[in-house]
A and B are shown apart, each in its own frame.
Chain A
């Protein structure tokens, strides 16, 4: 019973519904490069401290690299270790590359709700075993992550009470420009950043403007969190919180150079899967701010 409770608590803490204690990120070795055949390396991890891989890796199954011409670029030398995944990207084109991890899936929970605990394995992409309670355990409550529509019929108990199914669309990305930056076109799906200031043109002392879009439309009133990296070497998070205005735009002031983690989330009910009652959208970007 104790083991079952511990397991349930541990599993419950994994729910994407609770505020993420951890930060997921893609960290490129450089964001401003030059040359006809440039190589960069990207770290992908989920961690507490920015940008140190102190927790679990991000699986690379859903990581894509889009070139300036919109074509897909292959990840090279990819590997997933204990605390991070790493891969190389060869930039043969001039322009801005978009490197993103897309976490799209269905989540379901039913039965008694347990209050979320601390940390636990967060949503890190397909390939992770959906954590469903064993048949021998308490059938009255449970949950699924990264479920498919089929899983909803096979893995959810028929008489599940309090069943809540959500769609999650998460995008974690970063940008690298080789030579002159090119336009970043919105995908029109989920929550994403539309640059007003080019993401590879960020310098301390120069306020940057961005817009947040949901399904291609400006998202007003969203809170954006911005945290500078190197959190290990200071005693406070020093995060900035800004809210998008009616045109979905927000401004960030960079006091210091460094890598910054920018995050926003929202939810609505514009689901594409009919059993889902709500949609949870999240967005994370790693932005490099250079000194003057």
Chain B
């Protein structure tokens, strides 16, 4: 009993201190802006990683309407995430465990991945671009791109910012 407490504490502390001794991680934070509009719908968002060749290498998150409504199934509007759809979405068997999920409300959304997470399994060492694409019903579309290198040799933070449908985007890769 007494043994487990110190172990938990050590792990918690190392998470805070980001000690290189532990597994590498990738964290993405993106802000869904609060918008003052008459008819607000939560945006469809795709967070994915593109290789240097522009091809999608990893899908980190796709948020869309998961239930049917009288307007049809939520997947109907996935092609509105134009770039994600053509680079990855249209060839996927949806939903994808650990990636797809329901739409999220306004605010900062955080995605955490361990380096050995299945979502990152296709990321070989190299230069990549994190892409955040958002499309909002009766609203706009926006794409924010944040370049980064994987895996991180030192703590790496990269930032981007949208101007309408996406707020601040930041990526932190820890070695």
Contact = CB atoms under 8 A, between A and B. Distances in A.
B90 interface: yes
Contacts of B90: 34, 177, 179-181
Interface string A5-48: 00000000000000000000000000011111010000000000
Interface residues of A, number: 15
A201 B86 CA distance: 7
B76 interface: yes
Interface string A198-215: 000101000000000000
Contacts of B89: 34
B75 A35 contact: yes
Chain A binding site: helix, strand, loop or mixed by DSSP? Answer: loop
A272 interface: no
Nearest to A38: B76
B79 A33 contact: yes
A177 B90 CA distance: 10
Interface string A266-292: 000000000000000000000000111
B85 interface: yes
B76 A34 contact: yes
A32 B73 CA distance: 16
B91 A180 contact: yes
Given A179-B90, A180-B90, A32 B79 contact: yes
B136 interface: no
Contact of A35 (B76, B82, B86, B91): B76
Interface residues of B, number: 15
Interface in B78-104: 78-79, 82-83, 85-86, 89-91
B72 interface: yes
A255 B9 CA distance: 59
Nearest to B78: A34
Most buried by A among B75, B79, B85: B79
- Of listed A33, A34, A36, residue having the most chain B CB within 10 A: A34
A201 B85 CA distance: 10
Contacts of A38: 76
B85 A35 contact: no
Contacts of B79: 32-34
Contacts of A203: 82
B85 A32 contact: yes
Contacts of A181: 90
Interface in B47-86: 72-73, 75-79, 82-83, 85-86
Nearest to B89: A34
A208 B51 CA distance: 22
A289 B92 CA distance: 23
6 smallest beta-carbon distances between A and B, as pairs: A180-B91, A180-B90, A32-B79, A35-B76, A179-B90, A34-B78
Interface of A: 32-36, 38, 177, 179-181, 201, 203, 290-292
Given A32-B85, A33-B79, A292-B83, 13 more contacts: A32-B86, A33-B76, A34-B76, A34-B78, A34-B85, A34-B89, A35-B75, A36-B73, A38-B76, A177-B90, A179-B90, A179-B91, A180-B91
30 contacts: A32-B79, A32-B85, A32-B86, A33-B76, A33-B79, A34-B75, A34-B76, A34-B77, A34-B79, A34-B85, A34-B89, A34-B90, A35-B72, A35-B73, A35-B75, A35-B76, A36-B73, A38-B76, A177-B90, A179-B90, A179-B91, A180-B90, A181-B90, A201-B86, A203-B82, A290-B82, A291-B82, A292-B82, A292-B83, A292-B143
